[in-house]
């Protein structure tokens, strides 16, 4: 009867049990991460057991059947308890690390958003950069749109430069020959834009149609990837007066023709929306008809590219017709007026982005 307690007593007296026990406890945490806390809890654990043993020998009674078992169960129990403490500690540390990670990410995100806002205010074109659909899914989509965004940024810079040059030339009353050179560059510059947009439409027509590559105020006027030519004519015409009777008639006809063409394209777009919705609304039975439903829907989406191309074609044709109707001097003024108009939209967008807002 006294043998287990003797064993304990012996080990305590001899100091064998405790150190051995401590080492086995320490071995556990050192496998994972080391910490000075381990020893403390271990010692505390041991102290508790020692205490219970001191208060009543009956506590360990049921385990006292024979020498070996008396040591092992408490050994196991102690080890298990220590392991639990250790697991709980590790879990707390992991949770702490995770929260720290989240805090850091949140801070980083705020910083990135602030940088973006600053860049927007400076008029830099950051289009769908944060749109995940461009991040890595398809190499071609990504590079096509990234290229467009970069090229468009340069296009706007060049546009501003050309506008400045036009203004200077008109104020200096340069010759018609010099004006013609400027007008031709101006028109070619817009043709470059339509070419760029054509390539972007092939890369991602939805991106182009979203207008995310334009500033916010411009997006308000978005019609199939850009401004409505007839609206531009209507708004800017007064700036080009005085015009001859024939010119007024021609511009009026151009405006009306463009409007009719735009309306036809708008109706075509509505029909496209309708048929796409109808295609997706029916419930296909079987894998084959699901595939055929999706194939039909894909075809509809492809058709969007041709609508964007046609809309840009209208814009280009309107520009070319105006250069034909107007004198060279009027055409130069027309390009300047158009350039200033777009520039004011971009300035408005910057002001809007920088406006003081209620704190969230």
Alpha helices in the chain (DSSP H): 2-14, 17-31, 37-55, 67-121, 139-171, 176-210, 216-219, 229-236, 245-281, 286-325, 328-354
- If you write DSSP's letter for every residue of 221-238 in order, what string do you get? T-BTTB--HHHHHHHHGG
318 binds other proteins, rule: CB under 8 A: yes
Nearer to other proteins, 293 or 306 (CB): 306
Q: To the nearest whole angstrom, how small is the minimum distance from the Cβ of residue 270 to other proteins? A: 9
Between CA 206 and CA 212 the distance in angstroms is 10
Closer of 79 and 313 to other proteins (Cβ): 313
Among the listed residues 159, 321, 323, 330, the single contact to other proteins using CB under 8 A? 321
The overall longest dimension of the chain from CA atoms, in Å, is 126
**Smallest separation, CB 179 to other proteins (Å):** 24
Q: Any contact of residue 314 with other proteins (CB under 8 A)? A: yes
The b-or-e profile of 197-230 (16+ CB within 10 A means b, else e) is beebbebbbebbbbbbbbbbbbeeeebbbbbbbb
| Number of residues counted as binding other proteins (CB under 8 A) | 27
In the complex, the smallest distance separating the C-beta of residue 261 from other proteins, rounded to whole angstroms, is 5
- Contact with other proteins (CB under 8 A) among 254, 331, 336, 337: 254
Cα torsion through 109, 110, 113, 119, rounded to 10: -120
- CB nearer to other proteins: pick between 5 and 275: 275
Cα(265)–Cα(226) distance, rounded to whole angstroms?
13
Which one of the spans 82-90, 115-123, 142-150, 250-258 is the region binding other proteins (CB under 8 A)? 250-258
Compare residues 78 and 314 and give the one whose CB is closer to other proteins. 314
Q: Which is nearer to other proteins, 265 or 338 (CB)?
A: 265
Give the interface segment with other proteins, choosing from 75-83, 202-210, 211-219, 306-314 (CB under 8 A): 306-314
- Answer for which of 233, 261, 326, 332 binds other proteins (CB under 8 A) is 261
Three-state DSSP class for 306? helix
Instruction: Pick the closer one to other proteins by CB: 200 or 269.
Output: 269
Distance CA 330, CA 241 (A): 9
Contact 182, 162 (CB under 8 A): yes
Nearer to other proteins, 32 or 299 (CB): 299
Residue 65: Cβ within 10 Å count: 11
| Selection from 127, 120, 122 nearest residue 150 by Cα | 127
Site track 266-295 with other proteins (rule: CB under 8 A), x = hit: -xxx-xx--x--------------------
Helix 328-354, helix 139-171: angle, nearest 10: 120
Nearer to other proteins, 265 or 326 (CB): 265
Six token digits for residue 105: 């990410």
> Which of the ranges 8-16, 74-82, 164-172, 298-306 carries the binding residues for other proteins, by CB under 8 A?
298-306
Give how far Cα 306 sits from Cα of 144, 266, 271, 295, 302, Å. 18, 13, 14, 18, 8
Q: Which is nearer to other proteins, 193 or 269 (CB)?
A: 269
Of 6-14, 80-88, 256-264, 347-355, the segment contacting other proteins by CB under 8 A is: 256-264
> Given candidates 42, 159, 215, 258, which one binds other proteins under the rule CB under 8 A?
258
Return the sign of the alpha-carbon dihedral for residues 168, 171, 172, 176.
positive
In the complex, which residues of this chain contact other proteins (CB under 8 A)? 250, 253-254, 257-258, 260-261, 263-265, 267-269, 271-272, 275, 299-300, 303, 306-307, 310, 313-314, 317-318, 321
């Amino acid at each position: 009867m006294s043998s287990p307690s003797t064993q304990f007593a012996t080990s305590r007296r001899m100091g064998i049990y405790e150190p051995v026990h401590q080492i086995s406890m320490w071995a556990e945490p050192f496998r994972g991460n080391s910490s000075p806390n381990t020893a403390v809890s271990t010692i505390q654990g041991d102290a508790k057991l020692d205490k219970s043993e001191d208060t009543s020998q009956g506590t360990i009674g049921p385990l006292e059947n024979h020498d070996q078992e008396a040591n092992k169960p408490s050994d196991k129990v102690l080890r298990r308890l220590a392991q639990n403490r250790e697991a709980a500690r590790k879990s707390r540390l992991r949770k702490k690390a995770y929260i720290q990670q989240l805090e850091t990410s949140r801070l980083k995100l705020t910083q990135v958003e602030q940088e973006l806002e600053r860049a927007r205010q400076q008029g830099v074109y950051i289009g769908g950069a944060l749109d995940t659909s461009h991040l890595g899914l398809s190499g071609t989509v990504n590079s096509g749109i990234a290229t467009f965004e970069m090229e468009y940024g340069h296009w706007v810079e060049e546009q501003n430069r050309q506008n400045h040059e036009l203004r200077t030339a008109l104020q200096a009353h340069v010759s018609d020959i010099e004006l013609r050179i400027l007008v031709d560059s101006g028109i070619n510059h817009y043709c470059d834009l339509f070419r760029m947009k054509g390539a972007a439409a092939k890369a991602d027509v939805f991106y182009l149609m979203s207008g995310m590559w334009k500033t916010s105020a411009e997006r308000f006027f978005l019609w199939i990837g850009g401004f409505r030519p007839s609206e531009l004519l209507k708004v800017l015409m007064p700036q080009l007066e005085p015009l001859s009777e024939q010119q007024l008639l021609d511009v009026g006809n151009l405006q009306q023709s463009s409007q009719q063409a735009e309306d036809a394209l708008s109706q075509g777009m509505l029909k496209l929306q309708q048929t796409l919705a109808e295609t997706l609304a029916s419930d296909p039975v079987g894998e084959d008809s699901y595939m055929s439903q999706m194939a039909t829907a894909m075809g509809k989406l492809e058709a969007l590219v041709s609508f964007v191309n046609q809309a840009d074609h209208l814009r280009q044709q309107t520009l070319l017709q105006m250069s034909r109707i107007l004198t060279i001097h009027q055409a130069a003024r027309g390009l300047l007026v158009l350039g200033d108009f777009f520039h004011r939209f971009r300035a408005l967008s910057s002001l809007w982005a920088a406006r003081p807002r209620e704190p969230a």
